[in-house]
Amino acid sequence: MVKNKSNLKSPNKINSQCDLLQLDLWVNGELKNLQNENEREIIAIILKNLDDFVKFPKEAILMWEGCDRIDKYHKYPEELKTKLKAEGIESLDGRANGPAVVAYLFAKGERPQRYGSKNKWSIHHIYSGKFPYVNCNNTLHAKKDGLHFTQSAGLIAIHPVADQMCDEYPLFSWYLRSIAYKKFGYDPDEVFSKERHNKYSFVESSKCEVVYK
């Protein structure tokens, strides 16, 4: 029997729909579901100071349509290489998550240096296939989807202290997803807006550049 390496199942998910106009009130309501006071306090502090722990890209760009993380190594098309180098991106990471990292940088995302190592902050997909929305059974797993794996609107650079929160707390994941919607109109699960969505999961009033397809 093949084990599920993604570990996507969770006994918990958010209990109420995100209120985009009153996110702080929504967060406070969700925090009440956590029994541990120290956990509640830590999450609240990080959310209150989110810019110190999470960096979003400046632009919504799908760098490489059709690319996903199923392959363990990626060879960049020559046309894409030329476009990336024209933007000053010389190091093209070909490892499994490499194109997502490059996409984040291409969209002018900041990736700070870590304090305790020579590495930089991790690049994380906020739609990880985990924590479906209220009354939903599934949520986008961006790594497996060629329309989303290199979509910068779904990527963040995250501080090591906050990194594990994305995989542990549904409210934290959905807070980040709500911010991505407010910034870019990115709504892969089609839960934030009843407006028509295009094939790239943006509401029609928003724009997304596609670099290579």
Element (H or E) spanning 55, and its range? Answer: strand 54-55
Task: In whole angstroms, give the CA distance from residue 134 to residue 118.
Answer: 40
In a domain, 7, yes or no: no
Residue pair 144/70 in contact by the 8 Å Cβ criterion: yes
Task: In whole angstroms, give the CA distance from residue 206 to residue 60.
Answer: 9
In a domain, 3, yes or no: no
In a domain, 197, yes or no: yes
In a domain, 70, yes or no: yes
**Buried (b) or exposed (e) across 119-156, using 16+ Cβ within 10 A?**
eebbbbbbbbbbbbbeeeeebbbbbebbbbbbbbbbbb
In a domain, 188, yes or no: yes
pTM of the model: 0.94
Around Cβ 58, how many Cβ atoms within 10 Å? 12
Strands 122-125 and 209-212 come out as: unpaired
In a domain, 14, yes or no: no
Q: Which domain holds residue 27?
A: 23-212
In a domain, 110, yes or no: yes
In a domain, 15, yes or no: no
Nearest to 150 by CA among 72, 92, 59, 68: 68
The number of domains in the chain is 1
Around Cβ 79, how many Cβ atoms within 10 Å? 10
What's the distance, Cα to Cα, between the start and end of the chain in Å?
36
List per-residue pLDDT tens for the chain, 213 residues long.
Answer: 334 455 788 999 999 999 999 999 999 999 999 999 999 999 999 999 999 999 999 999 999 999 999 888 999 999 999 999 999 998 899 999 999 999 999 999 999 999 999 999 999 999 999 999 999 999 999 999 999 999 999 999 999 999 999 999 999 999 999 999 999 999 999 999 999 999 999 999 998 999 999
Provide CB contacts within 8 A for 126, sequence distance 6+: 142, 154, 155, 156, 166, 173, 176, 177, 180
